Structure 1
Amino acid sequence: MDASDLALVLIPLLAVAAPLLARGVRPVVRVPIIVFELVLGILVGPAVLGWVEPGPLLDKLSDFGLAALFFVAGSEIDFRAVSGKPLARASLGWILSVAAGIALGFLLAPGEGMVVIGIALSSTALGTLMPILRDAREMDTPFGKAISVIGAVGEFLPLIAISIFLSTRATPIAAAVLLGFVILAGLAVLLARRIPPGRLHGLVRATLHTSEQFAVRFVLLLIAALVGLSVMLDLDMLLGAFVAGAIWRILMARAPKKDAEVVESKIEAIAFGFLVPIFFLSTGVALDLQALVTSPAALWLVPVFLIAMLVIRGAAAQVSAPTGASIRDRAALGFLAATGLPIIVAVAAIGVDQHMIDSGMGAALVGAGMLSVLIYPLVGITLRGERSRITGPKPADERIQGEL
């Protein structure tokens, strides 16, 4: 059995092991499942045991997982809630973040490399934080909404920056192409708002529990179409996935609540039960530890980038802190806002491929991103405290379901 065949067995095995490990340690400490997926990927990858090697199949599935992660992030955003002042504050925070990141990048990698570092350090992993916030029952709280808008801006604006400043095209041409994509996406959003909901929702409802599964097939087509359009236009594919999620949310906004919840459950099952774990496991497998271990300069950059993410994003997040937030809540907001990985993986790969940064610095950025996912959500949720202490006891029926 070669490495690719072994990966087909080990990756599903590790995907099952991760939630078991997360639940096993939960009575002692609440560790996000992503932590175990990353660590298990490193363990079986070339850096440790060498049982799984990066390959074309794993890379493609990982890309699908990353696209699914950004689709879910886009579909989770309530645009009415993030518009106006919350959006303006979060955007201001991002501008401050990217400016500070570029300033640090100028010291470490003058030239194009400083843009790579600036974009990487200005990101927030909304797709990574969403399941953590959902598990902590924070999605509908002012704290959770603040994280959502910070994360939405911290994923969308870096994607825009990548498409303009890290494109293989000249910056004016890249901006024009991006504008064309935005126009097409705007037309798609307008069309989604104007489509009569009755026929579409009727078809969704009629196939919810049949082999036709129209809603799921339509979502996959929507992702493929917008990701494909992004790739054709030489934009980052994650931009297309993010916009696809936003369009899907608009399409389902007027659907009956029960039907929308069933469709959402099916999509989450595909994303978080299949594709997203492959992305995080593959990220662990592909981490170039050798580039870090053999380069002292790259190795010390890991804690530098990790601390910089907390200082840069954590400080900028305070602009979006809810009114009356306590010091603990502000600290928790900073740690969660400093959590970044998907954008960092993407921008580091682009930087290395285009020789803007060397492989050691790219590995240091990814390593810092991985550590931020390992550490910052755990610290943030711990500082925030259990939701039951804030909202009171769960209703009796919810407690029974939780126990089951």
Structure 2
Amino acid sequence: MSQYGTLILIMAVAVLAPLLAYGVGRWLPVPLVIFEILLGIVVGPDVLGWAAGGETIDALSDLGLAMLIFLAGYEIEFDKVRGDTLKRAVWAWVISMAFGLLLACALAGWSYAKGVYIGTALVSTALGTILPVLRDSGDLHSRFGSVMMAFGSVGEFGPIIAMALLLSGRSPVESAALLAAFAVIIAGAVYWAMRPRPLWFARVIAKTLHSSGQFAVRLVVLLLAVMLGASTALGVDMLLGAFAAGMVVRLVLHGAAPESAHEVVEKVEAMGFGFLVPIFFVVTGIEFDLDALLSGGRALIMLPVFLALFLLVRGGPVYALAPGDLGVRDRRALTVFSSTALPLVVAITTIGVGDGVLDTEEAAALVGAGMVSVLVFPLTGLKLRAGKGERAMPKGPTKGAESW
């Protein structure tokens, strides 16, 4: 099939997935990403053989991943992610990283190269999957939601930094120097973003918001392109550039045009979730090695092992360092929510397979465990929260299920 034919098939899958999510969501709120990946597997080479990757499709998939991480960076509310809670979140992630690297190296036969990829994949948190679920359940702006924001933000940002330091193929000193250079660029961008904007800036945003000009949307895309270009030029992982772009855009929009910020982001989300992000997840399914997972060998055994390690490596330190004002149920819910992982797991395993460090069986087991975590852990966390007598699980598909 040609690249254009494959793109048509991918978009057909992207249209079918929310219909399935809506139908199933009347009984069980399943995140949309699960249907996108599963349908990608079905049309991929291991089942029907209708679709395969290619240069154009892979480029669109990379843009989808960048948009996904960009929107996750935008979600961070700086006024809520600070103080003692942030310190606890950072320490929990640092302990998780050290613990994860040790266990992963042992699991990989003391291969440091392979252990780094597996260990980094074990300590990520799918913040973009969790926040919409908490928003729909009424918990996002509660004390629990603020704590989850802090732990989830570190769980999203920490692995991206670790990828830039440990998975770049450079020496630690060189990687640290390049990260420092990129940090200077981010600091400059943040300084520019926080400067007062002239009055005409907000007026242009408002005037073009419903016209063909779309100044604000074009500015957002430009800032994303600049940060991606800067990260690529410095040899830093593009995900770091995308994440930083999301944070900078939030500062610009909420500082210069707070009354228009929400509507601008809705337009960007429509572009991302309506086109680019679904391509990333469907292509993930298309390129998923189902044969390696279902061959009855090591991969199938490793999937539940990796799922348990998500809870042990990432969730254990989170439970231990959760703020003392959270009750037992909240600490348990925080643990399972923080152990939810998929987008960064997909990115890390893709890099690992491409570098020839991870084999397809290990990658399939990690991604499979990530898919199960997205399906099971948020639902478990919601039940724990509902068990406190707070708002029960949302009926039908959540916004998170529609977006992530």
Q: Does 1:268 align with 2:269?
A: yes
How many residue pairs get aligned? The number is 391
Identity percentage over the alignment? Answer: 46
Partner of 1:95: 94
| Greater displacement, 142-151 / 232-241 | 142-151
Aligned to 1:106: 105
Q: Distance in 1 between matches of 2:156 and 2:207?
A: 35
Distance 2:347 2:198 in 1: 36
Where do 1:150-169 residues align within 5 Å?
Answer: 150-169=151-170
- Conserved 8 A contact 2:69-2:242: yes
How far apart, CA to CA, are the structure 1 residues paired with 2:169 and 2:313?
28
Residue 44 of structure 2 aligns with which residue? 45
1:244-255 pair list within 5 angstroms: 244-255=245-256
Counterpart for residue 171 of structure 1: 172
Evaluate the alpha carbon distance shift between residue 194 and residue 309 of structure 1 in structure 2; reply closer, same or farther with a 3 A threshold.
same
Instruction: From the superposition, tell whether residues 175 and 167 of structure 1 become closer, same or farther in structure 2 (CA, over 3 Å).
Output: same
Bigger shift: residues 201-210 or 362-371: 362-371
Partner of 2:400: none
Q: CA-to-partner distance for each residue in 1:164-199, whole Å, 9 max, x for gaps?
A: 111122221111011000011111101111142533
Please give the alpha-carbon distance, in whole angstroms, between the structure 2 residues aligned to 1:303 and 1:79: 36
Instruction: Give how far 1:324 is off.
Output: 4.0
Aligned mates of 2:35, 2:173 — CA distance in 1: 42
Q: Does 1:222 align with 2:223?
A: yes
Tell me if structure 1 keeps the 8 A contact 2:194–2:255: no
Name the CA shift for 1:101/1:282 in 2 (closer, same or farther; >3 Å): same
Aligned residue in 2 for 1:182: 183
Matched, 1:56 2:55: yes
- The one-letter code matched in structure 1 to 2:73 is G
Partner Cα distance (1:313, 1:328) in 2: 17
Which amino acid in the other structure matches residue 74 of structure 1?
A: G
1:119 shift after superposition: 0.8
Query: Match of 1:239?
Result: 240
For 1:54 and 1:375, how far apart are their aligned partners in 2?
Answer: 29
Match of 2:7 in 1: 8
Check 1:132–1:58 CA distance in 2 against 1; reply closer, same or farther (3 A cut).
farther
* CA 279–137 in structure 1, closer or farther in 2 if over 3 Å, else same: farther
Return the offset for 1:385.
2.6
Cross-structure match for 1:402: none
Contact 1:344 1:369 (8 Å CA) reproduced: yes
User: Any unmatched runs of 5+ in structure 2?
Assistant: 395-404
For the 8 Å contact 2:205–2:257, the answer to whether it is kept is no
Q: Which amino acid letter does the alignment assign opposite residue 89 of structure 2?
A: A
Which residue does 2:341 correspond to in 1? 340
- 1:115 Cα deviation after fit: 1.4
1:245, distance to aligned residue in structure 2 (A): 0.5
Between 158-167 and 141-150, report the one with greater CA deviation. Answer: 141-150
Relative to structure 1, the CA distance from residue 216 to residue 104 in structure 2 (aligned partners, 3 Å threshold; closer, same or farther) is: same
Task: State the AA in 2 paired with 1:150.
Answer: F
Shift of 1:156: 1.0
Matched, 1:72 2:81: no
Conservation of the 8 A alpha-carbon contact between 2:196 and 2:256? no
Could you give the per-residue CA deviations for residues 208-237 of structure 1, whole angstroms, max 9, x where no partner exists?
A: 011010111111111111111111211111
In the alignment, structure 1 segments of 5+ residues that lack a partner are 395-404
Q: Deviations over 1:306-329 (max 9, x none)?
A: 110012222222256455434333
User: CA RMSD, aligned part only?
Assistant: 2.2
Aligned counterparts of 1:199 and 1:248: Cα–Cα separation in 2: 18
Report the alpha carbon displacement of residue 93 of structure 1 after superposing the two structures with TM: 0.7
| Contact kept in structure 2, 1:188 and 1:247, CA below 8 Å | yes
Aligned: 1:390 with 2:390: yes
Bigger mean CA offset, 114-123 vs 192-201: 192-201
Tell me, in whole angstroms, the C-alpha distance in 2 between the residues paired with 1:87 and 1:37: 33
Runs of at least 4 residues off by over 6 Å: none
Q: Is the 8 A contact 1:68 1:276 kept in 2?
A: yes
Closer, same or farther: CA 32–231 of 1 in aligned 2, 3 Å: same
TM-score computed with the length of structure 2 as normaliser: 0.91
User: Offset at 1:3?
Assistant: 5.0
**Bigger RCO of structures 1 and 2 (CA < 8 A, at least 6 apart):** 2
- 1:83: Cα distance to partner? 1.5
Counterpart CA distance in 2 for 1:381 and 1:52 is: 36
Secondary structure at the aligned position of 1:46 is classed as coil
1:108 partner amino acid? L
